[in-house]
Amino acid sequence: MNKFESEYRDWLNQHIAHSTGERLRRLKHRHGFGEKCLLEHAWWPVVGNLDDLHPEYEIIDANGNHYFLDFGYLRLPRPTCLESDDFGSHARDADRYNFSRGLDRQNEIGLAGWNILRFSIDKLKENPLGCQQHVRRMLESWYGEESSLMQGLSIYQREIVRLAARSTVPFTVAMACDCLGKNAKFARKQLHSLVEKGILEALSGEQRITRYALTKRGLK
């Protein structure tokens, strides 16, 4: 048994032991593959522990409706709701009532002062690095954490890495200039340094390097 499996079982059993009612039922019968997939493929590789995570966390809205979150991450300044969604129950098989109720549920969670981060099971299985990237950005944006890799960079290099993390496609030198408020010569110097550190990879244009993207090291 690897470390994650051992920690996960102990953590889940502790929550089962301290739960009653509907939450206990859900932990025993509904908390399963999708939820574990989120922890194993997105959370654990980034955080390395299950501290402050509460499975099947219950909240009650202003009208007395009860909602259970896949995970409540209880940290200041605001708690975060983490959800693992399968396509069948949330999209393909949803009727109008359940679709509307799902939107109401998300609105109530947000209005109760929670951040929300949702993952599809398909992406957790097929693109775990992309999911891990969202977890890292969550920790950085909402809780002020930075990786040891980021701590070793200059403020300009950090901004370029954040730009790369936000971009769904390789970014250009011009985009780096806009991000830094600097000229192309300065931006290229920072980009070259990040390539040498193995954080960015340079992608060739027709005549010269014009685009950049994060490497696997940069995603960690």
Residue 130 lies in a domain: yes
* Residues 50-90 pLDDT 10s: 999 999 999 988 888 889 999 999 999 999 999 998 865 55
Instruction: Please check whether residue 89 is in contact with residue 147, taking contact to mean a CB–CB distance below 8 angstroms.
Output: no
Q: Who has greater pLDDT, 214 or 25?
A: 25
Per-residue pLDDT at 203: 85
Residue 48 lies in a domain: yes
Residue 126, domain extent: 3-143
Assess whether pLDDT exceeds 80 at residue 108.
yes
Residue type, 137: R
Same domain, 77 and 173: no
> CATH code at 204?
1.10.10.10
Same domain, 174 and 136: no
Residue 121 lies in a domain: yes
Burial class (CB in 10 A: 0-12, 13-18, 19+), 200: buried
Q: Structurally, how many domains does the chain consist of?
A: 2
Same domain, 203 and 138: no
3-class SS of residue 190: helix
Assess whether pLDDT exceeds 90 at residue 210.
no
Residue 64 lies in a domain: yes
**Is the pTM here over 0.85, yes or no?**
no
Using pLDDT thresholds of 50, 70 and 90, give the confidence band for residue 93. low
Assess whether pLDDT exceeds 70 at residue 208.
no
